[in-house]
Structure 1
Amino acid sequence: MKEINILLVCNAGMSTSLLIEKMEKAGAILGVETHVEARPVDDIKSHLGNKEVILLGPQVRFKEKQIVALVEGKIPVAVIDMSAYGTMNGEKVLKQALDLVNN
């Protein structure tokens, strides 16, 4: 089974709990062991560890350049598609993460 470690970044680290649940369910259907951790944008530095991709909630898109600089190109960083985030489409967000890791 494929495995992926994702860091979701938002304002307070709480608004993504439903999205995490839906991403993990989508992972089970797709045969991907999905480990997702949500953190507030100002708290990510100490949580990069084994993360393979960082996804930002649309509300913190303005921090993208800062986070890209922080990880020095070692971890792919992207803003979650706004419609996928708004509808809590866990499968679409998981597929975005997988595409980033596989490219």
Structure 2
Amino acid sequence: MADKIIALACAAGMSTSLLVSKMQKAAADKGKDYEIFAKSTADIDNMLAANPKPDVLLLGPQVGFMKAEVQKKAAAADVPMDVIKMQDYGMMRGDKVLEAAEALMK
């Protein structure tokens, strides 16, 4: 069982898979045992209702327009959430996105 669960949501759940790989490597390099995965925004309700639910939810910048709607759902589930910074997403900076996720989990 992972120490923390980090969920990413994007348009189809596939464009974020490379970022997930980079985040997993960054977590492993730091000695962290995190479960990190990406799914489609259509799965957000299921992710927030899962047991265990994610410790943090990050939206891909391409679905950032959904932030207000998702924030309400995440708050109701007591899951912190935010939108991944466009620069970090575009440059596939897994270490930076991991740091942002960790900051939200504190």
TM-score normalised per structure 2: 0.89
Match of 1:58 among 58, 61, 73: 61
- In the alignment, structure 1 segments of 5+ residues that lack a partner are none
2:20 is aligned to 20
What CA RMSD, in Å, does the superposition of the two structures yield over aligned residues? 1.3
In structure 1, distance between residues paired with 2:34 and 2:92:
16
Unaligned runs of 5+ in 2: none
Q: TM-score when scaled to structure 1?
A: 0.91
Deviations 1:58-80 (A, max 9, x none): 00001111111112260111000
Q: 3-state DSSP class of the match of 1:15? A: coil
Amino acid at match of 2:79: I
Task: Tell me if 1:92 matches 2:78.
Answer: no
Task: Give the match for residue 79 of structure 2.
Answer: 75
C-alpha distance after superposition, 1:50-95 (max 9, x if no partner): 2000001000001111111112260111000111100111100001
Equivalent residue runs for 1:21-40 within 5 Å = 21-40=21-40
Deviant stretches of 4+, over 3 Å: none
Higher-strand-fraction structure: 1
* Paired residues for 1:2-17 under 5 Å: 3-17=3-17
Which whole-Å CA distance do the structure 1 matches of 2:15 and 2:88 have between them? 14
Contact 1:23 1:34 in 2 (8 A): no
Contact 1:6 1:97 in 2 (8 A): yes
